[in-house]
Amino acid sequence: MIRVLARHSEGVFDEATFGLIAEARRLLADIGGEGKVTALVLGSNLSPESLSALGPRGADEVLYLESKAFERYRGELFCEALCELLSKGSPSFFLMAESEETSDLAPRIAAHLGRPLINRVVDLKIPRKGEVLAFRPVLNGYVFEEVAAQCEGGPVILSFLPSVLTADEPDAAKEATIRTESWMATKTSGVRLLEVIEADPGSLEIEEAPIVVAGGRGMGKAEGFSPLFELAECLGATVGGTRPVIDAAILPFERQIGQTGKSVAPKLIVNCGISGANEYTAGMEKSLLVIAINKDPRARMFNFADLGIVADVHELLPLLIARLKEIKD
Amino acid sequence: MFTVFDPLLITAALLVMIAGTAVRWRSWQRGRKEERSGDWKGLCGYLLSHRKIMRKDRSGIAHLLLFWGVLLPLAVIFLAQFSFVLPAKLAGALSLFLNLLGAAAIVGILFFLVRRMGKDGSPPEGVLPPAVLLLFILLSGFEAQGVRLNIVPAPLWTAPVGALFSALSPASPLFLQLLIRMHLLAVLLLVATLPFTFLRHVTAGALNVYYKSKGPRGALRPLAMEEGCLGAKTVEDLSWKQLLDAEACVSCGRCEENCPAFLSGKPLSPRKVIRTILNQMATPRGSHPLLGEAVTTEELWSCTTCMACVAHCPLYIDPLDKVVDMRRYEVLGKGAAPVEARPMLRNLELFGDVNGKSASHRTDWALNQEVPLLSGQPVEVLLWVGCSGAFHPAYRETTRAMVRILKKGQVSFAILGKEEKCCGDPARRLGEEALFLDLARENIRLFNRFSFKKIVTLCPHCFNVLKNEYPALSDNLLPGNFEVLHASQFVLELIEQQKITLKYPVRSTAAIHDPCYLGRANGVYEPLRKIAGAVPGLVLHEFQRTGESGFCCGGGGGRMWLHESGTHINTLRAKEIAQSGVGLVSTACPYCLTMLEDGLGGLELEKRPKVRDLIDIVADSLG
Ligand SMILES: Cc1cc2nc3c(=O)[nH]c(=O)nc-3n(C[C@H](O)[C@H](O)[C@H](O)COP(=O)(O)OP(=O)(O)OC[C@H]3O[C@@H](n4cnc5c(N)ncnc54)[C@H](O)[C@@H]3O)c2cc1C
Ligand code: SF4
Ligand code: SF4
Residue B84: predicted pLDDT: 72
Residue B246: predicted pLDDT: 95
**Residue pair A19/A165 in contact by the 8 Å Cβ criterion:** yes
Residue B201 CA: nearest ligand 2 atom is 7
At residue B119 the predicted structure's pLDDT band, cuts being 50, 70 and 90, is low
Report the complex ipTM: 0.80
Q: Determine how β-strand A268-272 pairs with β-strand A211-215.
A: parallel
Residue A164: predicted pLDDT: 87
Give mean pLDDT, residues B345-358: 91
Residue A199: predicted pLDDT: 73
Q: Is residue A195 part of a domain?
A: no
Class of residue A213 by CB neighbours under 10 A (exposed 0-12, middle 13-18, buried 19+) = buried
The Cα-based distances of B31 to B27, B234, B251, B290, B471 in angstroms read: 8, 10, 21, 15, 25
3-state secondary structure of B384: strand
Q: Is residue A188 part of a domain?
A: no
**How far does CA A290 lie from the centroid of its chain?**
22
Cross-chain residue pair B340–A261, CB shorter than 8 Å:
yes
**Residue pair B428/B436 in contact by the 8 Å Cβ criterion:** yes
How many Å from the N-terminal Cα to the C-terminal Cα in chain A?
52
Higher pLDDT, B359 or B287: B359
Amino acid A283 reads G
At residue B155 the predicted structure's pLDDT band, cuts being 50, 70 and 90, is confident
Do residue A124 and residue A226 come from a single domain?
A: no
**Residue pair B547/B525 in contact by the 8 Å Cβ criterion:** yes
| Interface with A, mutate which of B340, B391, B604 (most A CBs under 10 A) | B340
**Dihedral of the CA atoms B542, B545, B548, B554 (nearest 10)?**
-120
B238-251 confidence digits (pLDDT tens)? 999 999 999 999 98
- Rounded to a whole number of angstroms, the CA Rg of chain A reads 24
> What is the A217 CA–ligand 1 centroid distance (Å)?
6
What is the rounded CA–CA span in Å between residue B300 and residue B321? 11
Q: Which residues line ligand 2 at a C-beta cut-off of 6 Å?
A: B 249-255, 270-271, 274, 312-313, 315, 317, 319
Do residue A112 and residue A60 come from a single domain?
A: yes
Structural element, H or E, at residue B129: helix B128-151
Residues B448, B450, B453, B457, CA torsion sign:
negative
What is the rounded CA–CA span in Å between residue B315 and residue B270? 14
B492-511 confidence digits (pLDDT tens)? 999 999 999 999 999 999 99
> What residue of B is the nearest CA neighbor of A262?
B340
Statement: residue B118 has pLDDT above 80: no
- Domain boundary, last residue among A155, A182, A209: A182
Domain of residue A134 covers 2-182
> What residue of B is the nearest CA neighbor of A281?
B355
Do residue A172 and residue A212 come from a single domain?
A: no
> What residue of B is the nearest CA neighbor of A283?
B343
CATH code that applies to domain B508-621: 3.40.50
Q: List the one residue out of A263, A285, A280 whose CA is nearest residue A207.
A: A263
Q: Is residue A192 part of a domain?
A: no
Statement: residue B121 has pLDDT above 80: no
The Cα-based distances of B286 to B246, B289, B363 in angstroms read: 19, 9, 53
Please provide the size of chain A in residues. 329
> What is the B313 CA–ligand 2 centroid distance (Å)?
5
Cross-chain residue pair B340–A141, CB shorter than 8 Å:
no
Residue B87: predicted pLDDT: 84
- Domain boundary, last residue among A154, A182, A210: A182
**Residue pair A135/A44 in contact by the 8 Å Cβ criterion:** no
Statement: residue B549 has pLDDT above 80: yes
CATH value at residue A23: 3.40.50.620
**Angle formed by the axes of helices B319-328 and B240-248, nearest 10°:** 130
**Residue pair B421/B442 in contact by the 8 Å Cβ criterion:** yes
Beta-carbon contacts of A84 under 8 Å, excluding residues fewer than 6 positions away, are: none
| Interface with A, mutate which of B397, B563, B565, B595 (most A CBs under 10 A) | B563
Statement: residue B218 has pLDDT above 80: yes
**Residue pair B234/B276 in contact by the 8 Å Cβ criterion:** no
Residue B479: predicted pLDDT: 55
Residue nearest to atom 7 of ligand 2 (CA): B249
Q: Is residue A193 part of a domain?
A: no
**Residue pair B213/B316 in contact by the 8 Å Cβ criterion:** yes
Q: Does B396 touch chain A if contact means CB atoms closer than 8 Å?
A: no
At residue B168 the predicted structure's pLDDT band, cuts being 50, 70 and 90, is confident
A vs B, Cβ pairs < 8 A, gives 34
Do residue A259 and residue A175 come from a single domain?
A: no
3-state secondary structure of B412: coil
Domain count, chain A: 2
CATH code that applies to domain B225-336: 1.10.1060.10
What is the rounded CA–CA span in Å between residue B82 and residue A150? 91
Residue A241 CA: nearest ligand 1 atom is 11
Least confident of A55-69, A96-110, B83-97, B319-333: B83-97
Do residue A110 and residue A244 come from a single domain?
A: no
> What is the B246 CA–ligand 1 centroid distance (Å)?
43
Structural element, H or E, at residue A123: strand A123-125
Q: List the one residue out of A48, A58, A36 whose CA is nearest residue A167.
A: A58
Q: List the one residue out of A213, A226, A297 whose CA is nearest residue A257.
A: A213
Cross-chain residue pair B335–A139, CB shorter than 8 Å:
yes
What is the rounded CA–CA span in Å between residue B310 and residue B521? 10
Strand order in the sheet with A61-66: A117-121, A156-160, A93-97, A2-5, A37-43, A61-66, A177-182
* Residue A62: strand pairing partners: A39, A178
Phi, psi of B275 (to 5 degrees): -65, -35
Q: Determine how β-strand A131-138 pairs with β-strand A143-150.
A: antiparallel
B174-216 confidence digits (pLDDT tens)? 999 999 999 999 999 999 999 988 888 999 999 999 999 988 8
Beta-carbon contacts of B204 under 8 Å, excluding residues fewer than 6 positions away, are: B24, B28, B244, B247, B248
Which fold does the domain B5-209 belong to in CATH? Fumarate Reductase Cytochrome B subunit (1.20.950)
**Residue pair B588/B569 in contact by the 8 Å Cβ criterion:** no
Do residue A161 and residue A295 come from a single domain?
A: no
How many helices (H) and strands (E) chain A has is answered by 8, 17
**Residue pair A55/A37 in contact by the 8 Å Cβ criterion:** no
CATH value at residue A292: 3.40.50.1220
Do residue A218 and residue A319 come from a single domain?
A: yes
Q: Does the reported pTM lie above 0.80? A: yes
Residue nearest to atom 2 of ligand 2 (CA): B313
Beta-carbon contacts of A43 under 8 Å, excluding residues fewer than 6 positions away, are: A8, A11, A64, A65, A66, A70, A71
Residue B122: predicted pLDDT: 65
Question: What are the domain boundaries of chain B?
Answer: 5-209, 225-336, 341-493, 508-621
Whole-number percent of chain B with pLDDT over 70: 97
Structural element, H or E, at residue B302: helix B297-302
> What residue of A is the nearest CA neighbor of B336?
A139
DSSP-assigned states of every residue in A254-314: GGBBSTTSB----SEEEEES----HHHHTTTTT-SEEEEEES-TT-GGGGG-SEEEES-HH
What is the rounded CA–CA span in Å between residue B147 and residue B174? 10
Q: Is residue A191 part of a domain?
A: no
Q: Does B560 touch chain A if contact means CB atoms closer than 8 Å?
A: yes
Amino acid A250 reads I
The CA-CA-CA angle for residues A219, A221, A222, to 5°, reads: 100
B444-494 confidence digits (pLDDT tens)? 989 988 999 999 999 999 999 999 999 888 555 555 678 999 999 999 999
Beta-carbon contacts of A280 under 8 Å, excluding residues fewer than 6 positions away, are: A216, A242, A243, A257, A258, A259, A274
Beta strands in B499-597 (DSSP E): 508-512, 538-541, 584-587
Least confident of A276-280, B31-35, B118-122: B118-122
Please list every residue in chain A whose beta carbon sits closer than 8 Å to the beta carbon of residue B344. 259
Does B306 sit in the ligand 3 pocket, CB within 6 Å? Answer: yes
- Ligand (nearest to CA of B201): 2
Give mean pLDDT, residues A13-22: 93
The Cα-based distances of A72 to A101, A195, A225, A235 in angstroms read: 10, 12, 37, 26
Residue A142: predicted pLDDT: 64
Q: Is residue A52 part of a domain?
A: yes
DSSP, res B220:
P
Residue nearest to atom 27 of ligand 1 (CA): A217
Do residue A151 and residue A37 come from a single domain?
A: yes
